[in-house]
Amino acid sequence: MTGFSGFTSLVSQLPASVPFVGPETIERNRGLSVKARIGANESGFGPAPSVLAAMRQAANDTWKYSDPENHALKQALAVHLGCKPDNLAIGEGIDSLLGQIVRMIVEPGTPVVTSLGAYPTFNFHVAGYGGRLVTTPYVQDREDLDGLLALVMQEKAPLVYFANPDNPMGSWWDAERVVAFAEALPQSCLLVLDEAYCETAPDGTAPPILRLLDKPNVIRTRTFSKAYGLAGARIGYVISTPENAQAFDKIRNHFGMARVSVAGALAALDDQAYLKEVLGRIAASRGKIAAIAQENGLQPLPSATNFVAIDCGRDGAYARAIVDGLMEHGIFIRMPGVAPLNRCIRISTGTDADMALLEQALPKVLKSLT
């Protein structure tokens, strides 16, 4: 059996790949069971009870399509953010929105600037539309804003990706530096400012919404997957000018949102007390991960996210051995994919039970590697 011969030359040349190997795949391939799922930057604390109740109720209407205009969610987000509903577009998580942004900008050969080792799903979409990735390395484990700007100018790139806070290192820049970077870009270059972890970051990390709202070459992406605990519901949104937000209507899947997911997002926005509680638990878990790392002679990096990157002090092969060794104990974590970032492992925040398993297993794994 062979595949269809009429696919485009681009699709025919692309590898069939998944940017992230999921814990389910590891369980199937290695015959292991995940006991602590602390590798995908989900929220092990889960959504609020009020959110689960709203989603259970909405399940009664799951035979209906969701509102293709996402009216209620846009209205609620606008109130929450302090902008207007027409500044917003809704999508099936940031990953889907990134694909739509790339589709609107990238043609075969288009140069696209990002950081070497940054979020690979963005790169996946660029490759899928035939773009040419141009990268600059991290500097001191942070995305190099000067390097990104220099590449944009050098390549005359129409698209640059920058995450603040960053995945996979957990680093961040303050709002003023982010605004200065956005203002230094030529108007011909669109900045995708990925703020997936903005809720977990220190005050002063995310620029105020109104500060960049009138810039037509800035699109900010946010999600309910992290602090709100709704990764499986797939709810993301963009914040930009009304004209940019409306452009998504030209290409998006208008019935892509599930009614149950939208109900969950609305309830999550309405329960800010629970969000505050979870943010406290995330901060405490970050501290616990850092302490466990230090107790075992490893160096945790500062983090503004719901995970901690840990410098293992050697190379990528050693970090990979730690990742694989922890999985033998049922602990799923991940690591950055390129050197020199891959000297690190990355551990998501989790429950006390998750942390206890990590605390027990890590010294055993490290001892087995000496």
Could you please report the per-residue DSSP string of 59-101? GGGTTSPP-TT-HHHHHHHHHHHTS-GGGEEEESHHHHHHHHH
Collect contacts of 72-78 with beta carbons under 8 A, ≥24 apart.
72/262, 72/266, 73/235, 73/237, 73/257, 73/262, 73/265, 73/266, 76/265, 76/266, 76/269, 76/270, 77/237, 77/269
Q: Does domain 16-46+273-368 have CATH number 3.20.20.70?
A: no
Per-residue confidence (pLDDT) for residue 269, from 0 to 100: 98
- Please state whether the predicted TM-score (pTM) of the whole model is above 0.85: yes
Stated as kind and residue range, the H or E segment containing 364 is helix 352-368
DSSP secondary structure string, 190-253? EEEEE-TTGGGSPTTSSPPHHHHTT-TTEEEEEESSSTT--GGG--EEEE--HHHHHHGGGTS-
340 prior amide bond cis, ω within 30: yes
Q: Is the peptide bond before 207 cis (omega within 30 degrees of 0)?
A: no
pLDDT of residue 48: 98
DSSP secondary structure letters along 318-352: HHHHHHHHHHHTTEE-B--SSTTGGGEEEEE---H
Fold of the 49-270 domain: Aspartate Aminotransferase; domain 2 (3.40.640)
Q: State the pLDDT at residue 21.
A: 87
pLDDT given for residue 3 in this prediction: 84
CA atoms of 40 and 332, how far apart (whole Å) = 8
Domain positions in the chain: 16-46+273-368, 49-270
CB 16 within 8 A of CB 7: no
Paired tokens of 121: 């799903």
Cβ contacts of residue 169 below 8 Å, gap of 6+?
138, 141, 142, 301, 309, 336, 341, 344
CB 173 within 8 A of CB 202: no
Q: Which pLDDT does position 5 carry in this prediction?
A: 87
Over the chain (370 residues), what is each successive 10-residue block's mean pLDDT?
86 86 92 96 97 98 98 98 98 98 98 98 97 98 98 98 98 98 98 98 98 97 98 98 98 97 98 98 98 98 98 98 98 97 98 98 97
Strand, helix or coil at 141? Answer: coil
